[in-house]
Amino acid sequence: MDFLKKNPSLPVFIAVLVIFTLVVTFLSEAYGTGALSTSFVKTLGKTLCLALVAIAMDLVWGYTGILSLGHFAFFGLGGYMIGMWLMYARTKIIVVESMVNAPIPPTPSEISDAIGSQIFGVVGSSDFPLVWSFAHSFWAQIALVVLVPGILALVFGWLAFRSRVTGVYLSILTQAMTLALSLYLFQNDSGLRGNNGLSGLQNLPGADAISQDNISIWFFWASAFALLLTYLIAAFVVSGKFGSVIRGIRDDEARVRFLGYSVEGFKLFVFTLTAILAAIGGALYYPQAGIINPAEIAPIASIYLAVWVAIGGRGRLYGAVIGAVFVSLVSTYFTGGQAPDINLGFYTIKWVDWWLVLLGLSFVLVTLFAPKGIGGLFDLVSGRLSPNRQGAPLGPDKGSLREEEAEQ
């Protein structure tokens, strides 16, 4: 009960999510009227995964104050890990089927060689690289979905926080990490098929008989469930004493350190936890998208993640969800060519071309005039208004109280 009192948004969020899931199910082609096409159900499922990673971003940025421009790298890594198993298992089924009519039954090493040349023929190789050692095992790859991004985040975070890289420096460093990772994966000899990436992920191995209509709604349910769990975890993390400490770190790191808290430990925990959450989101997202390639990990993707959270409203979990859902769905609407062109007489505005300009400018406007984002609208409803901060800061950090605020 205490937990619910601290998170008044939680019941509302759960209710909205459950209703949304039911509505989509009853409108889907598999279990309902068919008003929503399968591809749109997939889009909605992917959007839920993006909302999940946005919650992770909100935890690390909105609550802990670490503007990480690298969380989409963890998202992509999660996708790669599950993609390896999907691709291996499916190729194995195809290869075994094709060999069943051979006069002599194939040996295990012949099957493995055939799978290798199927998967890596596109990058001019046929041997399995070391990173594919566990690709045959579903549970091993599921473990790697958590372990690989988790360990990367742990090592990177430990190095960065230990040497007290903070603020914009940390942002640039995380961006560099993302860039390095995507450049590495772009190479053909990285072992993950270079810029071809992994493809055909929407076909679950052994599920050829089941139509994509059903698979899409299953993934939608899984994404909704994962989002719910993530929201619960995040709400739990930020509501207790732990939450107070990380908010303290966001507002004045030095003071929290002087109070005797291990700032580095708290930051490292949040950074690693959110990296794992992001990876789980990616592992659910890419089977719905069907393909993953290094371009998905490019630094720009992580910046968009920050954009969603900022537009939705930092420092509140439902804000991140709203931002991710709103911006990504509106983006899909405008870039998908469905939006009607506006004819100005002398020039026709094509939204495919102008949407990014609009997004960029509205993002600037939100940053300038509505730092609380869309989530701030709920404060107007609930009547919670923050004090008007003006004048010079009292404390050493940019986020500290201002003179006039203190006089009130």
Q: Which residues bind another protein (CB under 8 A)?
A: 67, 103-109, 156, 159-160, 162-165, 167-169, 171-173, 175-177, 179-180, 183-184, 186-187, 189, 299-300, 303, 306-307, 310, 353-357, 359-364, 367-368, 371, 393, 398
- Contact yes or no for 369/383 (Cβ under 8 A): no
What's the min distance (Å) between Cβ of 306 and another protein? 6
What's the min distance (Å) between Cβ of 27 and another protein? 34
What's the min distance (Å) between Cβ of 20 and another protein? 29
Instruction: Name which of 226 and 263 has its Cβ closer to another protein.
Output: 263
What's the min distance (Å) between Cβ of 162 and another protein? 7
What's the min distance (Å) between Cβ of 370 and another protein? 12
What's the min distance (Å) between Cβ of 250 and another protein? 10
Instruction: Name which of 234 and 359 has its Cβ closer to another protein.
Output: 359
Instruction: Name which of 25 and 335 has its Cβ closer to another protein.
Output: 335
What's the min distance (Å) between Cβ of 161 and another protein? 10
Instruction: Name which of 172 and 210 has its Cβ closer to another protein.
Output: 172
What's the min distance (Å) between Cβ of 167 and another protein? 6
Give the separation between CA 9 and CA 193, rounded to whole angstroms: 44
What's the min distance (Å) between Cβ of 214 and another protein? 35
Instruction: Name which of 105 and 124 has its Cβ closer to another protein.
Output: 105
Instruction: Name which of 201 and 309 has its Cβ closer to another protein.
Output: 309
Instruction: Name which of 18 and 389 has its Cβ closer to another protein.
Output: 389
- Contact yes or no for 71/302 (Cβ under 8 A): yes
The residues pairing with 402 across neighbouring beta strands, listed in sequence order, are: 393
Give the separation between CA 102 and CA 106, rounded to whole angstroms: 8
Instruction: Name which of 75 and 156 has its Cβ closer to another protein.
Output: 156
Task: Select from 240, 232, 206, 167 the least CA-distant residue to 2.
Answer: 240
Instruction: Name which of 155 and 380 has its Cβ closer to another protein.
Output: 155
- Contact yes or no for 239/3 (Cβ under 8 A): yes
List of long-range contacts for 252-260, beta carbons under 8 Å, 24+ apart: 252/395, 252/396, 252/397, 252/399, 252/400, 253/65, 253/166, 253/397, 254/396, 254/397, 255/395
